[in-house]
Structure 1
Amino acid sequence: MKAARYYDNHDIRIEDIPEPTPANGEVLIKVAWCGICGTDLHEYLDGPIFCPTHNTPHPISGETAPVTLGHEFSGVIEALGEGITDLEVGDHVVVEPYIINEDVNVGPDSNDYHLSDNMNFIGLAGRGGGLSEKVAVKRRWVHKISKNIPLDQAAVIEPLTVGYHAVDRAGELPEGSIALVGGAGPIGLLTGAVLRAKGITVVISELSELRRKKALEAGSADYAFSPAETNVVEEVRKLSKDGRGADVAFECTSVQVVLDTLIDAVRPTGKIVIVSIWGKPATIDMHKIVMKEIDLRGTIAYVNNHPDTIKLVESGKLDLAPFITGKIQLEDLIDKGFDTLINHNETAVKILVTTDPQNLN
């Protein structure tokens, strides 16, 4: 079967590799669509980061480069390994793409398996990936979805769950609360969409006019301001009931000035959730944090959030179609996928990849 194989930075090859077979307790999935993630781009430009090297195997998967890429994917069950009785061939599914040690509690009561030692992801550290025709995945990480959800939209559920977990990390937010999202990249947009589906008024701060437009069109924001043209802090205060600022803010850029704006824009006792991955240290005005009693919280990926995210999508409160801005074949992964997202990222949110040309008809 065809697969996108990561060898090293700037070295991804479309190759023929053997088809997987499902082992005991595994599900064989025929992949329908796989999204290109910002993490994939970082691996291509600067990696290996999550991906193993040629000489150093990942401590859990045991695999070295090359590995198959792709962790944002949807598909249809083609076969079941022994011991699986609660799924059927033909079911539509998405994957929570974790690679986690066997001795870690990954049950429904766990809230920290995503923080366990050597945690990594299917499609980055081995065990196949969604940028291929088929993948075998342990039952624990496979989530059934309604056949009413188109499989292309289902491929966006994984990054949407990142946003869902970020909102969950913010704690209780009464309907009518005001949230400020810093940055309208894919995760900022999806976080805003989750917030609005929960009845929260969303303000997005974003320099790019195209991204601000997308935020409003896609239903990710009620208001979208350019910090180069507008005093975002003042606008947020005008929108808040008592003029004191946003109830919560989400940092989705890893840009210092954005973090500074969020600290100024939240009300006293407000919350700031750091969603982006920072490649360098940030500076924080601790006096403002103290004097406003701001809660500053981190968030990474998701933990037991997929079921609730899927229910939200199935409820119809959130439309994922506007976030899909391109569909390509696997053979065009670099030229039409990575190149667009690296060099023309204002024009794209989520580009989906398929190995089946019929999906593009």
Structure 2
Amino acid sequence: MRAARFHGQRDIRIEDIPAPELRPGAVAIDIAWCGICGSDLHEFLEGPIFISEPGHEHPLSGESYPVTMGHEFSGTVSALGEGVTGLAVGDSVIVEPYFVCNECAQCKAGHYNLCVKMGFIGLAGGGGGLSEKVVVDQRWVHPVGDIPLDEAALIEPLSVGHHAAMLANPQSGQVALVGGAGPIGLLTSAVLKALGVTVIMSELSEARKEKALSSGVADFVVDPSKEDVVEFVKSKTNGVGADMAFECTSVNAVLDTLIEAVRPRATVVIVSIWSKRASVDVHKVVLKEIALVGSIAYANDHPATIELVKSGKVDLKPFITGKIGLDGLVNEGFDTLINHNETAVKILVSPAL
């Protein structure tokens, strides 16, 4: 089968490799669509990061590069391993793309996203969605019913947004400030809006500002190059400040603004992956008793996230801005998202194109 394989920094190749073999307790899936994630771009530009280097194989997968990439994917069940129940050939599914040890304190407490050996399918090994087929343990396979498979490929990043949102305990009627209208910022906002939260979004790009408003995930969009974000938020909150904020840019100035713009005892959630150290005005955090929280991936979020889409509370169609085949992954997909990211939100890849 054909697959996109990471061989090193700026070296991703479309190769023919053997199809994965079905095993007991696992599910074989024909890939329909796979999204290109920001972490894929980080691996391409700066990696290996989550991908293991030869001689330092991942402790759970036992793999190092070259590995098949892609962890935001949907597909159709093609075969069931021995002992698999509750699924049928032909079912539309998505995958929660994890390797976890099930033995550490975090796994036993149910916080398997914090597993001391955690890895992602499509980064740490185990195949990936940027291919024709994958075999995944049943635990990680979620049926999506009649959700279209292109939209279903966005449920993985939507679950990232759901996990981040839940860390702030959002309540209907509250106000959230979201820094950055990239894919995760938009999808985090989609979850917040579905829960009845008023969303103010800070964003520079004209195209992304338009997407935030036209998709309905932001009530207000403020451009920090033209307006004072803190004053804008205060004007919408009777001078109090936002109840919560979400950092989705890995830009220090954005984090500083969020801390300034929230009310006392608010929660600020850092959602983005940072490739450099950040500085924080701890004095402001202390004096306002702000809860500064990190968020990584998801744990037990997929069922609730799938229901948000099934119920129509979240519409994923507006965020699909491109569809390409495997052969265009680097020149069309990665290049667009790296050099023209203001023009795209989520580019989907299909092995059938």
The interval holding the TM-score normalised by the smaller chain is over 0.9
Contact 1:51 1:65 in 2 (8 A): yes
* Structure-2 residue corresponding to 1:295: 291
Report matched runs for 1:213-232 at 5 Å.
213-232=210-229
AA of the residue aligned to 1:284: V
AA of the residue aligned to 1:223: F
What SS does the aligned partner of 2:19 have? coil
Report matched runs for 1:1-361 at 5 Å.
1-104=1-104, 110-147=109-146, 149-171=147-169, 173-240=170-237, 242-357=238-353
- CA apart distance, 1:110: 4.3
Contact 1:270 1:295 in 2 (8 A): yes
User: What is the CA–CA distance in structure 1 between the aligned matches of 2:116 and 2:281, rounded to whole Å?
Assistant: 31
- CA apart distance, 1:21: 2.2
- Structure 1 residue runs of 5 or longer lacking an equivalent are none
User: What is the CA–CA distance in structure 2 between the aligned matches of 1:291 and 1:224, rounded to whole Å?
Assistant: 28
User: What is the CA–CA distance in structure 2 between the aligned matches of 1:80 and 1:308, rounded to whole Å?
Assistant: 25
User: What is the CA–CA distance in structure 2 between the aligned matches of 1:103 and 1:291, rounded to whole Å?
Assistant: 39
- CA apart distance, 1:56: 2.2
User: What is the CA–CA distance in structure 1 between the aligned matches of 2:38 and 2:160, rounded to whole Å?
Assistant: 13
User: What is the CA–CA distance in structure 2 between the aligned matches of 1:55 and 1:342, rounded to whole Å?
Assistant: 30
User: What is the CA–CA distance in structure 1 between the aligned matches of 2:120 and 2:2, rounded to whole Å?
Assistant: 20
- CA apart distance, 1:295: 1.2
AA of the residue aligned to 1:222: D
AA of the residue aligned to 2:200: V
* Structure 1: 4+ residue segments shifted above 6 A: none
- CA apart distance, 1:206: 0.7
- CA apart distance, 1:15: 0.7
Percent identity of the aligned residues? 61
User: What is the CA–CA distance in structure 2 between the aligned matches of 1:106 and 1:352, rounded to whole Å?
Assistant: 33
User: What is the CA–CA distance in structure 1 between the aligned matches of 2:136 and 2:220, rounded to whole Å?
Assistant: 41
Contact 1:184 1:211 in 2 (8 A): yes
User: What is the CA–CA distance in structure 1 between the aligned matches of 2:149 and 2:71, rounded to whole Å?
Assistant: 15
Q: Tell me the TM-score normalized by structure 1.
A: 0.95
- CA apart distance, 1:111: 3.6
- CA apart distance, 1:103: 2.8
* Cα-to-partner distance string for 1:14-67 (whole Å, 9 max, x where unaligned): 011111121000000000000000111111111111112233211110112111
User: What is the CA–CA distance in structure 2 between the aligned matches of 1:110 and 1:322, rounded to whole Å?
Assistant: 36
Contact 1:110 1:304 in 2 (8 A): no
What SS does the aligned partner of 1:342 have? helix
- CA apart distance, 1:174: 2.1
- CA apart distance, 1:102: 4.4
- Structure 2 residue runs of 5 or longer lacking an equivalent are none
CA RMSD of aligned residues (A): 1.3
